[in-house]
Chain A
Amino acid sequence: NAGVMQNPRHLVRRRGQEARLRCSPMKGHSHVYWYRQLPEEGLKFMVYLQKENIIDESGMPKERFSAEFPKEGPSILRIQQVVRGDSAAYFCASSPGEVTEAFFGQGTRLTVV
């Protein structure tokens, strides 16, 4: 059973470009969470999705950021018109249900130049 797969592992974008981060959850997992991690800081919750539904996006900036988890295919975190402050490691986690442990991918390290 493959783990949570994130790609790309590293992504470099120029200011103003779009960044697309992909996450394939573990087989059988229908809950997906996205977190952002800045150096020397903890994990900041961004968004919680189930198949075709956004359950909670209270941690996601209102502008430029969006997320989806379609019926088929990976979950996508999309950042439009990136700025230097978006540079961070973005982690996806999945779980088979609520109140169970989350399994993490290896993250996508976004660098905005």
Chain B
Amino acid sequence: GNSVTQMEGPVTLSEEAFLTINCTYTATGYPSLFWYVQYPGEGLQLLLKATKADDKGSNKGFEATYRKETTSFHLEKGSVQVSDSAVYFCALSDLSGGSYIPTFGRGTSLIVHP
């Protein structure tokens, strides 16, 4: 079946530090890949996506590249802000058991200090 593995959190950084959150996946087919962000008390919001190998998704200074050879989709940001503090979920969408069901990692909490 399909699965997504993310690095465990929390990740604690100072403002303007470089961020990497690792994500690797297992899929039976050729998935689309996503990063979502969840702020406290809210639902998940799509942050960025990539649909084929070597695609780079980017949004709000975040970016992630679809690496088929390493089955990875690591999230990066060059300079984090306090407002980036949230939980980040890596996800894929692929055929599994006969239907397409978005599959999520466990989430990685990011805490950014001033």
Partner-B contacts on A (CB < 8 A): 4, 6, 33, 35, 41-43, 45, 48, 55-56, 58, 91, 93, 95, 98-107
Contact = CB atoms under 8 A, between A and B. Distances in A.
Given A33-B102, A41-B106, A42-B89, 17 more contacts: A6-B43, A42-B107, A43-B89, A43-B104, A43-B107, A45-B101, A45-B102, A56-B97, A99-B31, A99-B93, A100-B93, A101-B93, A102-B46, A102-B93, A102-B102, A104-B36, A107-B43
B103 interface: yes
B99 A106 contact: no
A104 B45 contact: yes
19 contacts: A6-B43, A35-B104, A43-B107, A45-B104, A48-B99, A48-B101, A56-B98, A56-B101, A58-B97, A93-B44, A98-B99, A99-B31, A99-B94, A100-B32, A101-B34, A101-B49, A102-B46, A104-B36, A104-B43
A43 B93 CA distance: 14
Nearest to A98: B100
A55 B102 contact: no
Contact of A33 (B51, B94, B101): B101
Contacts of B51: 99
Contact-residue bracket for chain B? 20 to 34
A95 B34 CA distance: 14
Contacts of A104: 36, 43-45
A98 B93 contact: yes
A51 B24 CA distance: 33
Contacts of A107: 42-43
Contacts of B44: 43, 91, 93, 104
Greatest chain A CB density within 10 A among B44, B103, B105, B107 is at B44
A17 B105 CA distance: 32
Contacts of A105: 43
A91 B44 CA distance: 9
